[in-house]
């Protein structure tokens, strides 16, 4: 198919090519199309999503296809670009606008690699290197490189790339990023085995203060969820406060991390009143969701399993009700009686350990 004298071609690009070259599992595949335009893609049955930056969904596979593009910086922030999707835009121009050389490799339908910026060389050398000077135009790339440092801890950030990042991170452009967009990068990072390198990178850039990074908790995570990783790593109030200033974690992340910090001493010594307060704060008498998540955090951080002790104890405490005190009218006195009975049960259980 020819458009304005240019043959339409489709290339696999980005992370899929990189991961394939590194021998890793490829989960998501993205494609770039040269020699085409919006109307042609629609005629071929693709579904367009997005307006300023059109992406097309393949009618059978559901995979994403984007037109090769050129872009020009016109305003602050990650989205401050004007795009040109001319069918004559060559693949090399599209690849030049990408962040890192290891992400700027393409593969055609014959299996041949197109690697104009030596991404394969940087994979072999384990280097995270910017593709071009256009790197500085997108402030989000600072966080993206920190994320890739967590994804590939053995890779080194190229010195010139690192200096670019330092110049960007205190700029108005970086400050214009939304906390929600920043969180998307951290959220992806939490899926990796060693997410702590994201924060180490920010400390090396002098963005995350050393006095705060000292409170980061590092664990060997295996199959823990992002919520558990977040709550274990960032539960210290100073660390959690800093993260909340820069990112916008979901409320459940903040809730679990702060409650885990408040009651983590239970894993060192169980005291009746503190444990009862923990159950109440985690709403455990009406729903066991949060107490089970709290226990997952404790297991991940301390390697201790308190489930077999605390969950049966919770069931026993939940059975204590107003019916046990028929001689006391509803009111503060009844509440105090229920609490006292529950404290007695906890104390008895602790003494029996």
- In 3D space, the residue among 162, 179, 185, 192 whose CA is nearest the CA of residue 242 turns out to be 179
Please report the pLDDT score of residue 75 as a whole number.
52
Task: With both helix axes pointing from N to C terminus, report the angle between 307-318 and 332-352 in degrees, rounded to the nearest 10.
Answer: 150
| Pairwise CA distance, residues 282 & 288, whole Å | 8
Please report the pLDDT score of residue 2 as a whole number.
38
How far is the first Cα of the chain from the last one, in angstroms, to the nearest whole number? 77
Residue 83 host element (H or E): strand 81-84
Task: Report the sign of the C-alpha dihedral through residues 184, 189, 195, 197, in that order.
Answer: negative
| Pairwise CA distance, residues 224 & 133, whole Å | 38
Residue 103 DSSP symbol: G
State residue 45 phi and psi, 5-degree precision.
Answer: 100, 5
Instruction: Output the pTM of the full model.
Output: 0.88
Please report the pLDDT score of residue 54 as a whole number.
74
Please report the pLDDT score of residue 52 as a whole number.
64
Please report the pLDDT score of residue 203 as a whole number.
98
Please report the pLDDT score of residue 72 as a whole number.
56
What b-and-e string marks burial along 37-49, b requiring 16 or more CB atoms within 10 Å of the CB?
A: beebbeeeebeee
Query: Which parts of the chain sit beneath pLDDT 50?
Result: 1-5, 73-74, 80-81
CA distances from 136 to 49, 101, 122, 340 (A): 27, 14, 20, 62
């Amino acid at each position: 198919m020819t458009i304005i004298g240019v043959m339409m071609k489709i290339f696999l690009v980005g992370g899929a090519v990189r991961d394939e070259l590194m021998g890793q599992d490829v989960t998501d595949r993205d494609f770039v199309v040269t020699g085409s335009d919006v109307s042609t893609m629609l005629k071929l049955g693709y579904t367009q999503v997005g307006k300023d930056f059109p992406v097309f969904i393949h009618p059978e596979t559901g995979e994403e296809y984007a037109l090769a593009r050129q872009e020009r910086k016109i305003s602050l922030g990650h989205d401050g670009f004007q795009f040109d999707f001319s069918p004559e835009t060559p693949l090399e121009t599209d690849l030049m606008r990408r962040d890192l050389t290891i992400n700027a490799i393409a593969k055609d339908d014959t299996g041949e690699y197109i690697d104009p910026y030596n991404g394969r060389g940087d994979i072999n050398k384990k280097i995270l290197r910017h593709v071009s000077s256009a790197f500085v135009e997108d402030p989000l790339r600072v966080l993206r490189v920190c994320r890739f440092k967590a994804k590939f801890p053995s890779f080194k950030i190229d010195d010139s790339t690192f200096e670019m990042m330092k110049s960007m991170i205190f700029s108005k452009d970086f400050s214009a990023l939304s906390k929600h967009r920043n969180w998307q990068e951290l959220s992806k990072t939490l899926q990796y085995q060693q997410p702590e390198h994201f924060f180490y990178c920010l400390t090396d850039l002098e963005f995350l203060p050393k006095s705060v990074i000292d409170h980061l908790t590092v664990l060997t995570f295996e199959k823990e969820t992002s919520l558990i990783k977040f709550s274990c790593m960032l539960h210290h109030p100073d660390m959690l406060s800093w993260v909340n200033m820069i990112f916008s974690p979901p409320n459940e992340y903040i809730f679990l991390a702060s409650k885990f910090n408040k009651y983590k001493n239970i894993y060192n010594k169980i005291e009746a009143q503190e444990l009862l307060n923990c159950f109440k704060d985690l709403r455990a008498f009406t729903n066991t969701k949060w107490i089970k998540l709290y226990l997952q955090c404790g297991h991940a951080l301390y390697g201790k399993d308190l489930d077999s002790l605390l969950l049966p104890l919770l069931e026993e405490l939940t059975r204590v009700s107003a019916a046990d005190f028929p001689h006391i009218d509803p009111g503060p006195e009844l509440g105090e009686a229920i609490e006292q009975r529950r404290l007695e049960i906890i104390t008895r259980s602790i003494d029996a350990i």
